[in-house]
Amino acid sequence: MATLNPPHSEPLVPTVPGPLPEASQPTEVTLPPLACDAHCHVFGPADQFPFSPTRTYTPPDSGIDAFERLQQRLGLSRAVFVQASCHGTDNSAMIDAIQRGDGRYAGVAMIDDSFTDADLAHLHANRVRGIRFNFVAHLGGAPDLDRFWRLVRRVEPFGWHVVLHFDAQDLPQYADLLDALPIPYVIDHMARVPAADGIEQEPFQRLLQLVADDERCWVKISCAERLTHGKVAPFDDVIPFAQALVAAAPERVLWGTDWPHPNMAVMPDEGALTNLLAAYVPDVGLRNRILVDNPQALYDFG
């Protein structure tokens, strides 16, 4: 397994802001029992779970205790922690958070070629069910594709999926890659499609086609704060995009907060993000499917 990140010898100075101290309570929607935040992170605490020495940003500590307070405020029960790049391939903070959940949490790891089969089995036993790759240009760009395929083949026997962080405009160039994947794949954050360009824009139409036509393709209707024009509330311009994706394949849609919102200049209110669900999915039964049944199917909660 990848070497654990070395301990920090002095307090770290964050280079990005942290989440709001307290979210508002949702007023437009009441979440059902077992509702899941299917995309969130834990950062640190750095004195216990050091950040990667090769990280591109240093966040303030946003650990499991703060996250569980947020869950209680929003009315959430389950969560999927996605390994953040600031921790690299040291998944220790994520695994600790999952263990604290007593079956209510699952994870998506970042791995490299140093991981043995025993390491992968350890992650699986600790409720990891996928791996993630970034393809976004300003976050470092596409991974080495030879390594990508090696790692996909390594996790296939575990029944895992792969989470892909794309810019929508880049989807066409990876059509062959997606078509060849032997496991399910999840497109993060509506492929970061810019809401200002409208629902008819070609990148979003390509995403819609993928979701509708490929039964291996899942999508997260998350990160309105990144997609909306101006990057601040209100997020009304994102609503038609989420609605279209839900209509295309409601059985393969997930929702998440993206807490604690890495690299956002203006932090969103998670209560406001949760309220968007009332507009994204007005039908209560369908909303419950997206919040409970769909994450259950992909992450096998106890």
pLDDT tens figures, 81-136: 999 889 999 999 999 999 999 999 999 999 999 999 999 999 999 999 999 999 98
Which pLDDT tens digit goes with each residue over 132-184? 999 986 666 789 999 999 999 999 999 999 999 999 899 999 999 999 999 99
Share of the chain above pLDDT 70, in %: 96
Query: What per-residue confidence (pLDDT) applies to 54?
Result: 86
Residue 125 neighbours by CB under 8 Å, 6+ apart: none
Other CB atoms closer than 10 Å to residue 285's CB: what's the count?
Answer: 8
Query: What per-residue confidence (pLDDT) applies to 215?
Result: 97
Q: Write out the two tokens for 42.
A: 């834990």
Cβ-contact 170, 131 below 8 angstroms: no
Query: What per-residue confidence (pLDDT) applies to 141?
Result: 73
Which residues lie across from 105 on neighbouring strands?
79
Residue 50 neighbours by CB under 8 Å, 6+ apart: 4, 5, 6, 7, 8, 90
Other CB atoms closer than 10 Å to residue 215's CB: what's the count?
Answer: 11
Domains of the chain: 36-299 (3.20.20.140)
Alpha carbons 207 and 186: distance in angstroms, whole number: 11
pTM here?
A: 0.95
Query: What per-residue confidence (pLDDT) applies to 136?
Result: 85
Active-site position among 144, 258, 269, 283: 258
Query: What per-residue confidence (pLDDT) applies to 56?
Result: 86
Which residues lie across from 220 on neighbouring strands?
254
Which residues lie across from 40 on neighbouring strands?
81
Phi/psi for 146 (5° steps) reads -65, -45
Residue 292 neighbours by CB under 8 Å, 6+ apart: 32, 33, 34, 35, 36
Q: Is 170 a catalytic residue?
A: no
pLDDT category of residue 12 using cuts at 50, 70 and 90:
confident
Query: What per-residue confidence (pLDDT) applies to 207?
Result: 96
| Side chain identity, residue 77 | S
Alpha carbons 41 and 127: distance in angstroms, whole number: 15
